[in-house]
Amino acid sequence: MAQQLAKQSLLSKANVVFHCSGLLSSECLNSLAQLGCYTASIHPLFSFSKPMVDVEVFKGTYCAFEGSKLALEKLLPLFRAIDSQLFLIEKNDKVVVQFSASWCGNCRIMKPKFKKLASENDAITFVLIDAENSPESRKLANVSNLPTFATFVGGKLVNETQTNKQEVLIDLVKEIV
């Protein structure tokens, strides 16, 4: 699609082009970046099974952003206006996510352990998601119980586990170190 747009000369320098595939990095838009467009990949942690209904409950959805900093500057105000929570990732980033909820006792127990692990692993992005406020995010890692911890490499789910044991969480993170 990006190559077709590039050939049709519909876009010009400094236009912002992004996709929300959930799988591909912004590299799939390289043909447009070569034209001078600012390109990005935005991955909502949300499954759009019924787009006309889902758009109404998109508020507060976490979205992973990867791409040009100039695209981010243009897109950030738009996503803030719809109350999305953008967090930055790199193309081949390693990410650990804790899915939790405010009412979950084990989630509260694991949260400081999760944050400590984050402070000890600079090469990995750690993200805390309130699965009650963003229930669609649960589909990304087949979350059926809380807390659930999931690892992603290059945007793909590597492993997930439900635990309240620090050792299990450490072993999960070691898988992607």
Q: Are residues 37 and 75 in the same domain?
A: yes
107 catalytic, yes or no?
A: yes
Q: Which of 88, 107, 132 is the last residue of a domain?
A: 88
pLDDT of residue 172: 97
- The boundaries of the domain holding residue 106 are 94-174
The CATH number of residue 59's host domain is 3.40.50.720
Q: Are residues 119 and 103 in the same domain?
A: yes
The CATH number of residue 150's host domain is 3.40.30.10
Tokens of 98: 């804790």
**Which residues of 20-70 form beta strands (DSSP E)?**
38-44, 62-67
Q: Are residues 7 and 84 in the same domain?
A: yes
Q: Are residues 78 and 6 in the same domain?
A: yes
Question: For residue 129, what are the contacts with CB-CB under 8 A and spacing of at least 6?
Answer: 45, 62, 97, 98, 99, 100, 137
Q: Are residues 98 and 46 in the same domain?
A: no
Tokens of 143: 């979350």
Q: Which of 45, 68, 88 is the last residue of a domain?
A: 88
Q: Which of 20, 37, 63, 104 is catalytic?
A: 104
Residue-wise over 14-28: b if at least 16 C-beta within 10 A, else e? ebbbbbeebeebbeb
pLDDT of residue 114: 94
63 catalytic, yes or no?
A: no
Q: Are residues 84 and 99 in the same domain?
A: no
Q: Which of 20, 37, 63, 107 is catalytic?
A: 107
pLDDT of residue 23: 58
Q: Which of 88, 120, 149 is the last residue of a domain?
A: 88
Neighbours of 99 (CB within 10 A): 27
Query: pLDDT of the chain along its 177 residues, tens only?
Result: 888 888 888 898 999 999 886 657 788 899 999 999 999 988 887 766 677 777 787 888 888 888 999 999 999 999 888 888 888 877 667 889 999 999 999 999 999 999 999 999 888 888 888 888 778 788 888 899 999 999 988 778 899 999 999 999 999 999 998
User: pTM of the predicted model, to two decimals?
Assistant: 0.60
pLDDT of residue 131: 87
The total number of structural domains that make up the chain: 2
